[in-house]
A and B are shown apart, each in its own frame.
Chain A
Amino acid sequence: MAFVDFEHVSLAYDEGGPLAIEDISFSVQENEFVAVVGPSGCGKSTLMKLVSGLTEPTEGYVYLGGRQVAGPQKCIGMAFQASNLLPWRTTLDNLMLPLEIVQPYRSQFRRRKQEFIEQARALLARVGLAGAENKYPWELSGGMQQRASICRALIHKPRLLMLDEPFGALDAFTREELWCMLQDLWQEDPFTVILVTHDLREAVFLADTVYVLSKGPGQIVAQKQIDEARPRSLEFTYSKPFADNVQELREHIGRIRAVQ
């Protein structure tokens, strides 16, 4: 069985109200990198809430790791467009937060604190934030905050990382830098990723599989496999296969628009 499995899932936020997503079925393999694209309001964020058990489907079933999702899941990492770092904690302490909450780290926290701090430092250094450990979030640039936010989502080694437009607020250069950073982290120590994005180039660059959702209620209208060698470098974004893939996705999105 796949790691994440959706079986004919529909969801209406209000009982009897309009559906936010309708009859969605797809699956994600362990350590697969999946991107979800679609127009605004099509239910991408809703999809993430369903996987993490923050909302329950009105119809259908969601499985995670072979078990039906019921209630908030224990070991998922999440990052959003806003970094959501805690302003009263330094970068390092922000990274320690999941370790203070998630088992088994939580019960070992006192005893192994020094070790955890070293891990957090190492992770920060990996993403180029060495030296920012004792800075407060407001002392970091937007890109640095986002790096820290992704580190926080990964420090407790979740099996599933969910990213909701994590690079949406960054400039193009920083964004591409962070694509590479994320890819490196993922390749070094694989985990499953579901990435929600508006940016088709981002989806093609990072993902193994891209799903295109249609607008309200969200339905999967296309699934695109990106079979390119890894690690992908930024040169890839100038290649023909890359442009073709982006073009094809754009046509799907265009078709959604045309229908409306």
Chain B
Amino acid sequence: MAVSRKTFLVNNASWMLVVALILLWELICVSLNVPRYLFPAPTAVWEAGVARWEIISKHAFQTFFTTMVGFGLAVAFGLLTGMAVGTSPLVYRALYPLMIGFNSIPKVAFVPVLVVWFGIGTTPAILTAFSISFFPVMVNVATGLATLEPELEDVLRSMGASKLDILRKVGLPRSMPYFFASLKVAITLAFVGSVISETVASNLGIGYLMMAASSSMDMPLVFAGLIVIGLMGVVMYELFAYLEKRLTGWANRGSDI
């Protein structure tokens, strides 16, 4: 009995916490009588969301699109450079400091430059999403490859395996858990990237919608936008978490967590 109650809690804790927080939020807004234009109650946000569904979904689709394209590019380039950095000490030495420097630049500071180059709208959003989510993919793939056990490498080399053989048979499969872990981080960062860019330089996308709504004090719409972004992030995260579990379950030694 105690055990089953505990498993029930563990399985449903996330939903219950969300519901509890919404209730608390509603309670605070109603009991303190907070004005809508400062901090709208969940019911008000819900109303705004339902009433303006068409406009929200249009912007949400734009954000989803730029995020996924930027994320896709980040995964492709992250895999390639990660493989280069992880397998070649020369590339590692040459590229790593550059990459660290590149990653240290706040991406929002770079958006105006992108605007000068590409104009406002889709392209800067894609590039910001790309540049912010590229780094974790590269680092994780490189780490997965570089931490190959030396003895295992000796075993393979003494069979006459080429570098490419080692990469294909051992290096890449072994770095898959690292890769999937990075996808979960990268997808949420990619959303952050496109929304930042849309806030600064776009007339489409959730970032723009929230910017426009808050300048007209339409707080319920701002919060509806926030929640849509959050939801998209959670859905994509869960998708990659599921893929991770399916494809690299061996890394957890068959356990469930």
Contact = CB atoms under 8 A, between A and B. Distances in A.
Given A82-B151, A136-B250, A138-B253, A88 B160 contact: no
A73 B160 contact: yes
A74 B160 contact: yes
A156 interface: yes
Contacts of B238: none
A75 B159 contact: yes
What is the interface residue range for chain B against chain A? 20 to 34
Contacts of B151: 80, 82, 84
B169 A101 contact: yes
Interface in B140-162: 149, 151-152, 154-161
B155 A101 contact: no
A9 to B, nearest CB: 18
Interface string A49-78: 100111000000000000000001111111
B160 A78 contact: no
B165 A136 contact: no
A82 B157 CA distance: 17
B152 to A, nearest CB: 5
A180 interface: no
Instruction: Decide if the interface of chain A is mainly helix, strand, loop or mixed.
Output: loop
Interface in B237-254: 248, 250-251, 253-254
B42 interface: no
B157 A54 contact: yes
A153 B156 CA distance: 10
Interface in A77-118: 77-80, 82, 84, 86-88, 97-98, 100-103
A139 interface: yes
Contacts of B72: none
Contact of B158 (A73, A82, A87, A100): A73
Given A52-B154, A102-B160, 11 more contacts: A49-B154, A52-B158, A75-B160, A76-B158, A76-B159, A80-B151, A84-B152, A98-B159, A100-B169, A101-B160, A101-B169
30 contacts: A49-B154, A52-B154, A52-B157, A54-B157, A72-B158, A73-B160, A74-B159, A75-B160, A76-B158, A77-B158, A77-B159, A78-B155, A79-B155, A80-B151, A80-B154, A82-B149, A82-B151, A84-B151, A86-B170, A86-B173, A86-B174, A87-B250, A87-B253, A88-B174, A97-B169, A101-B156, A136-B250, A139-B254, A153-B155, A156-B159
